[in-house]
Amino acid sequence: IASNSGVNGSVVELARVVKAAGHPLIAITSLAHSSGVDSRHPSGEKLLDLADVVLDNGAPYGDAALPLPGGGSVGAVSSITAALLAQQLVADVVARLLDAGITPPVYLSDNVPGGREHNAQTEARYAGRIRRTA
């Protein structure tokens, strides 16, 4: 679960549901921000309290990096660093699978030759597990 503050009720509740179902939980959050604010969930818990693994997105308190002369700031960094951490996690998992002799199913860009065909074959292989909402 990725949440910069990790304190909003819906995020904490989702984390509680994940843990209650017995799943491991990886959180991407800002340690600087989360440690500086109170939880908004009735339990008082924060995302980082519930996670088995916490990845610090490195965002500063308040998320934005460029202070403005009259107060406030702009230039949020959490979305960029969370995306980077998520992609690094994918790359690390794929590397571990390959080291174990397992070829992971991955999507290719539709914008490279053979990409659409490859993705269609991958989706057909996992058709029983893929759910569409729209």
Domain range list for the chain: 9-101, 104-134
Q: Are 45 and 16 in contact (CB under 8 A)?
A: yes
In this prediction, residue 90 carries a pLDDT of 95
- Sign of the Cα torsion 40, 41, 43, 48 reads negative
The residue type of 9 is G
Which whole-number Å values give the CA distances from 58 to 17, 33, 50, 51, 125, in the listed order? 26, 9, 19, 17, 38
In this prediction, residue 79 carries a pLDDT of 93
In this prediction, residue 103 carries a pLDDT of 94
pTM above 0.95, yes or no: no
In this prediction, residue 133 carries a pLDDT of 80
Multiple choice CATH, 9-101, 3.40.50.10490, 1.25.40.10, 3.40.50.300, 2.60.120.1310? 3.40.50.10490
pLDDT tens track, the chain, 134 positions: 999 999 999 999 999 999 999 999 999 999 999 999 999 999 999 999 999 999 999 999 999 999 999 999 999 999 999 999 999 999 999 999 999 999 999 999 999 999 999 999 999 999 999 888 87
Which whole-number Å values give the CA distances from 40 to 2, 69, 127, in the listed order? 16, 30, 39
Residues 6+ apart with CB under 8 A from 42: 9
Residues 6+ apart with CB under 8 A from 34: 5, 6, 7, 46, 47, 48
